[in-house]
Amino acid sequence: MSPHINSKLPNTGTTIFTIMSVLAAEHKAVNLGQGFPDYPMSAALTALVDEAMRNGHNQYTHSYGLATLREALSRKIDGLYCRTINPDSDITITPGGTYAIYTALTAVINPGDEVIVFEPAYDSYIPNITINGGIPVLIPLRHPDYTIDWNLVRQKISPRTKMIMLNTPHNPTGSVLSTDDITQLRSIVHDTGIFILSDEVYEHLIFDGKQHESMLRYPDLFERSFVCFSFGKVYNCTGWKLGYCVAPATMMTEFRKVHQFNCFSCNHPVQHALAGFISRREEYLQLGSILQQKRDHLQACMQQTRFTPLPSYGSYFQLYSYAAISEESENDFAIRLTKEYGVTGIPVSSFYANGRDNQVIRFCFSKNKQTLEEAANRLVNL
């Protein structure tokens, strides 16, 4: 008899990002699929990593993360969100934002717990809940502006609701939470034992003068929140896979129990470099305007095509409707676009557990001008 795995994720296949990036490479397509910049990161920051390695910061560091990095993050959070965070007890450095999300869910979710997830949702959320025995309670965002129907949230709350997952700025839609959303959220969770997991990896990538509504701004929300971040999105180095989670001390204690036996500690020289770099505020404060220009450039180039943009107020992404072009499913359309027109996007249906199709495709605009122009030029004939 050969060994048999009784799959914990029987309905999960290969992520759309792997599928589309492989397909893009195979067809030499302009890859506006997976979200990563195609322009270089800061040479000053890579020089600091080089220096850290040469200076011997090459062994394990603290399991919670390098102390000077946690201290620098605490100062950054105070400056941005006026929240005092204890670097010893409230911050843990993780190998990426995705890992921080997984770890928070693993620390909190017991079998049978319900977790409210808004769809479309970043594709790791639902498998992360399921593998922990949790039950995803799916609430669709309102198409086409992808806002939250808070009345529906009220209806879906049950005695088993353990957590609400939020993502602002939002992947894949580029929608952002407003102060009204925060008011609604506060009134819903007030006097409940509901946790919040807030995925804020795009905190600085926010446009048109909007304010990032971090859970860190609001003491009554932060007291129940795991807030997850990614350095990859801040310093144009998604391949570094380094992030962090911020949470109140008692919650962080449980988070660290999971973390210490999963990865223990993260890349040391990179943490050393970042600890010295974070004080350069302009590096992150300028990001919103740089990305907004890229969004606008893609939009200007796409005007010559029959695609229709949906609003994007943040993130790396903008959704485009192709309803005027084709009736194909999003998946078929995205594959054909790569194979026949040499441009790769991500079908938004892959961010829904049950594959809802609105004839929209996600394009990533964190790219060089020439890349965006080349993509639009290839789409003109469609």
Q: Which of 35, 87, 174, 345 binds ligand GLN (CB under 6 A)?
A: 35
Chain residues 89-118 in contact with ligand GLN, contact rule CB under 6 A: none
Cα dihedral angle (351, 357, 358, 362), rounded to 10 degrees? 40
**Mask 174-203, x = binds ligand PMP (CB under 6 A)?**
-------------------------x-x--
- 3-state DSSP call for residue 303? coil
Chain residues 22-51 in contact with ligand PMP, contact rule CB under 6 A: 35
Q: Which two tokens stand for residue 238?
A: 């998604």
Question: According to the binding rule CB under 6 A, does residue 366 interact with ligand GLN?
Answer: no
| Per-residue burial over 223-249, b = 16 or more CB atoms within 10 Å of its CB, e = otherwise | ebbbbbbbbbbbbbbbebbbbbbbbbe
Question: According to the binding rule CB under 6 A, does residue 17 interact with ligand GLN?
Answer: yes
The CA distance from 230 to 157, in Å, is: 29
Question: According to the binding rule CB under 6 A, does residue 315 interact with ligand GLN?
Answer: no
Closest residue to ligand GLN, based on beta-carbon distance: 35
Question: According to the binding rule CB under 6 A, does residue 136 interact with ligand PMP?
Answer: no
Question: According to the binding rule CB under 6 A, does residue 243 interact with ligand PMP?
Answer: yes
| Cα distances (Å, whole numbers) of residue 75 to 33, 78, 79, 119, 234 | 35, 5, 6, 34, 16
H-helix or E-strand containing 199?
strand 195-199
Question: According to the binding rule CB under 6 A, does residue 171 interact with ligand GLN?
Answer: yes
Give the nearest distance from C-beta 165 to ligand GLN in angstroms.
Answer: 15
The closest of 380, 318, 338 to 22, measured between CA atoms, is 338
37 binds, among ligand GLN, ligand PMP, none (CB under 5 to 8 A by kind): none
Question: According to the binding rule CB under 6 A, does residue 338 interact with ligand GLN?
Answer: no
Tell me the DSSP string of 205-230: -B-TTPPP--GGG-HHHHTTEEEEEE
Measured in whole angstroms, the distance separating CA 262 from the mean position of its chain's CA atoms is 21
The CA distance from 103 to 124, in Å, is: 12
Q: Which of 65, 134, 232, 288 binds ligand PMP (CB under 6 A)?
A: 232
Q: Which is nearer to ligand GLN, 64 or 316 (CB)?
A: 316
Q: Which of 33, 65, 87, 97 binds ligand PMP (CB under 6 A)?
A: 97
User: What does the binding site for ligand PMP look like in residue numbers (CB under 6 A)?
Assistant: 35, 96-98, 122, 167, 171, 199, 201, 230, 232, 238, 241, 243
